[in-house]
Amino acid sequence: MSFNDQDPFAPVTADLDPQETAEWLESLDAVAAKHGRGRAREIMQSLLRRSHELQLNVPLVPTTDYINTISPEDEPKFPGDEAIERTYRAWMRWNAAVMVHRAQRPGIAVGGHISSFASSASLYEVGFNHFFNGHDHPAGADQIFVQGHASPGPYARAFLEGRISADEMDNFRQEKSRPKPGRGLPSYPHPRLMPDFWQFPTVSMGLGPINAIYQAQFNRYLQGRGFKDTSAQHVWAFLGDGELDEVESRGALQLAANEGLDNLTFVVNANLQRLDGPVRGNGKIIQELESFFRGAGWNVIKVIWGREWDALLANDHDGALVNLMNRTPDGDYQTYKTESGAFVRENFFARDPRTLKLVEGMTDDAIWDLKRGGHDYNKIFAAYQAAVNHKGQPTVIIAKTIKGYGLGKSFEGRNATHQMKKMTLENLKDFRDAMRVPISDAQLEADPYQPPYFKPSEDSPELQYMHERRRELGGYLPERRTNFVSFALPEEKAYAVPRAGSGNQEVATTMAFVRMLKDLLKADGTGERIQMIIPDEARTFGMDAFFPTAKIYNPNGQKYMSVDRDLLLSYKEANNGQILHTGINEAGSMAAFTASGTSYATHGQPIIPIYVFYSMFGFQRTADQVWLAGDQMARGFMIGATAGRTTLTGEGLQHADGHSLVIASTNAAVVAYDPAYGYEIAHITKAGLERMYGGNHPDPNVMYYLTVYNEPMLQPAEPENVDVEGILRGMHLISKNPADGHKAQILASGVSVPWALEAQQLLIEWGVSADVWSVTSWGELRRDGLVCDEKKFLYPNEVAPMSYVTQRLADSKGPKLGVSDFMHAVPDMIRPWVPGSYATLGADGFGFSDTRPAARRHFKIDGPSIAVRVLEQLVEKEKIAPSVPQQAIDKYRLHDVNAGTSGSAGGDA
């Protein structure tokens, strides 16, 4: 294998005292023989700990033998009735497979996955029967991240529980066309599509693990802040071994270890297969994962072999079987489970005469019945119990299973099993027999496309037992609740500073937002519920002023002497800190945002995340996570600071954001704004808080995205009778030009508004009277237009509604020009609804390092460029002479980047 291929205990010199060494080894042998391997392991662990205390420099052993971590003698007694539990688990497995199979009937064939839940049913059921606390448990509910492709399992359990009907099972993957009464069941865990059932989206593989880590961290944060006692709540994340190749799956493991998140357990379904074939055909994924997690500081529990192997391992006195297990690659293990007991005897045990002798008294059928640990209730229960009892570290349980387990030879372990969605009549009969489901051949033969579900009478002992287990654990899961404690929203005074303007001081909109945030943090009822999430750029954004007062969350407090302890703005950490400082880590920040922004549902405690990030790195890098947050119905504010293609002066190509608003427009849960002034930010923020947490909006499950800039400028005071509706709906008139001349309308957003005002003045010289509009949200204007178009399309006999853009510009004369510090696609969003002539300017292409005026001149979006483009539009309307635009181009030296003047210097980068 590619890891741990050297013996870490290999002596560099000859043994100085072989006799003494032999005595130590004999003592260890005696302990193992008399008290068992578990006790011998305890002694070895104690010796290793003492070796570190004595500074003997004994290296870490990243992997252990390919056997169960918990020895049989250390396993607790299984507390339940295994026979009953296995009986209704078999019914669930039947119903889950049949639900997917029925969804492939002729004319439908909507897909689905059978094999993932088949391999992991026991892993889930031990949890549901003995560990997973529901919402009515005195300690609070656990959070269960169900592996996406295993969704048929929870549906099948809910069917037996009476929470999902047989008709709804037939609506699987037909959420709109529902052939039967009731709800449609989404393909995977999607809270937005099934908001009373699913809590955590997981099927964008890799995002479940990182979100589970930050959910566990948030649980501790919530307790540290004094909102709720979460000490007994546990986060369980069910993952696939192939999924752990995703960077996000492993990238945050150190955070869980560093913060000692013993409220977190990963359960890895190690069926050795990903979607197309083996995860590590030539290697051993379980050993690799053990090494990786242990190196990251996790407690590792391997559940590899079922109880049928215990006697063989106990008789493996010379370690031949363990050695064979260690040397056999995963590709062989996968093949064995597609063959037979005779094949396993010949190709596995017969590779060593000593191991062949171990099984000489076993029949081929008995060898075939040697099970993997992930299908053994005793082994799983022991691992789960050890995980919840372990303190100081997160735990990963790596359970070896068979993909397609129990589905028959056509499914088990096959490379194509992930894509196999339906069964033949023979498959159905074999599966029915294996699961001991009381369904007759005649019932199956009547319609092989529609085999029946099975559910016994409600008074059956199995269902009574199942209901009692969930009652004792606090109710059914999965379940999502949305009742949360109410709190007072900020009063008007919290928004006073940005609405008053900046006087003679030049202030960037980033700083205008931060000054408002300072007052929001003081607001009774709201302030303490704000969680600031900052990925290591607080000083850039002017937010380091919050360090001494709000403090940075650290569960361990601050145990070191800070280098800036004597400064007014010192760096202070505390276990009740309000700021989550995630480091250079946008993926972690977005996972934290999701946990915080869904706390209203997960914990009944609304927390308002305000995530401030470089707009380029935050939205572009983590758009998939923002999509997941929308699915999970997160609420909060994302602040894209240092926005714009030309505004983050000097930083260059990778930092120059000209498209985050385009990406934001693709997410239906994101309400995106590009405000120009502080007073606009104030109204948008107030409206956002009222929509998300005021309790009166029909769609509160949104995230607000505000782009803010680092370019200092004079912030005007809020005008009298300001058009608040226009600000919130997407556009308002900020400068109506009273001068005579040809009319034009300039629509600008964000940092480009000053360039539009500059162009307004330049155009007077050419006999043009231009009005300037501040477009606060191109995206919201587009959504409004699409809604109007849809109504016009679907209800042709009714009076068609007019889009907001059309309404506002209906009486405005002259050509219209849209401009921003983003690519053309941003102002182009509203093109279908702009009456009359409409053109756009934009910063398409890659950014570069230069001054703001030079960059804006290069992209032709500065004041003179706006003026020239308006003149060209007037030529097209035959309002002015064709020679005028060229005169303006020459006058402003439009082709010379050094002639640019639009923009100032300064502002942190």
At position 258, the amino acid (one-letter code) is N
What residues contact 719, with CB distance under 8 A and at least 6 apart?
Answer: 734
Residue 5 maps to a domain: no
Together in a domain, 681 and 566: yes
- Looking at the fold, whether 783 and 705 belong to one and the same domain comes out as no
pLDDT in tens, 775-812: 999 999 999 999 999 999 999 999 989 999 999 999 99
Whether 4 shows a pLDDT value over 60: the answer reads: no
**Residue 616 pLDDT grade (very low, low, confident, very high; cuts 50, 70, 90):** confident
Residues 710 and 810 in one domain: no
pTM, 2 dp: 0.94
How many Cα atoms occupy the beta-carbon half-sphere of 576 within 13 Å?
6
User: Residue 483 annotated as binding?
Assistant: no
pLDDT at 86: 97
86 in any annotated domain: no
531-551: pLDDT as tens digits: 999 998 888 888 999 999 999
Which H or E element spans position 236?
Answer: strand 235-240
In a domain, 27, yes or no: no
Position 13 scores a pLDDT of 63
Q: Is the pLDDT of residue 482 over 80?
A: yes
Considering 658, 682, 714, which residue would you say is the last residue of a domain?
A: 714
Q: Name the DSSP class of 803.
A: P
Sort strands 395-400 and 264-270 into parallel, antiparallel or unpaired: parallel
Same domain, 588 and 663: yes
Which structure tokens are listed for 337? 């489970």
Is there a single domain that holds both residue 120 and residue 174? yes
122 with 165, same domain: the answer is yes
CATH number of the domain within which 589 lies: 3.40.50.970
**Other beta carbons within 10 Å of 61:** 14
Q: What would the mean pLDDT of 726-751 be, rounded to a whole number?
A: 97
The answer to whether position 273 is within a domain reads yes
Helices (H) and strands (E) in the chain, counts: 37, 20
Q: Pairing relation of β-strands 768-775 and 731-735?
A: antiparallel
Task: Report the domain count for the chain.
Answer: 3
Q: Is the pLDDT of residue 723 over 70?
A: yes
Q: Is the pLDDT of residue 704 over 70?
A: yes
Confidence band for 2, pLDDT divided at 50, 70 and 90: very low
* One domain for residues 647 and 768: no
Residue 70 within any structural domain of the chain: no
Nearest-angstrom CA–CA distance, 345 and 341: 6
Is the pLDDT confidence value at 5 over 60?
Answer: no
Q: Is position 760 annotated in a ligand binding site?
A: no
How confident is the model at residue 619, as a pLDDT? Answer: 86
The answer to whether the annotation marks 430 as part of a ligand binding site is no
Q: Do 525 and 601 sit in the same domain of this protein?
A: yes
Instruction: Calculate the average pLDDT of the chain.
Output: 94
The per-residue pLDDT for range 641-672, each reduced to its tens digit, is 999 999 987 888 989 999 999 999 999 999 99
Does residue 13 lie within any of the structural domains? Answer: no
Inform me whether the pLDDT recorded for 497 exceeds 60: yes
pLDDT in tens, 37-47: 778 888 988 99
Please indicate, yes or no, whether residues 742 and 707 belong to a single structural domain of this protein: no
pLDDT at 6 over 70: no
- CATH code, 789: 3.40.50.920
User: What pLDDT was estimated at residue 56?
Assistant: 85
Residues 280 and 419 in one domain: yes
pLDDT: which is higher, 59 or 745:
745
Indicate the residue among 386, 402, 427 that finishes a domain. Answer: 427
Domain containing 285 equals: 92-306+371-427
- 136 and 236 share one domain: yes
pLDDT at position 57 is: 83
Structural domain includes residue 749 = yes
The residues near 689 (Cβ < 8 Å, ≥ 6 apart) are 489, 490, 526, 608
Residue at 611 is within a domain: yes
Q: Do residue 691 and residue 763 come from a single domain?
A: no
Instruction: State yes or no: pLDDT of 314 exceeds 80.
Output: yes
Nearest to 657 by CA among 666, 644, 676: 644
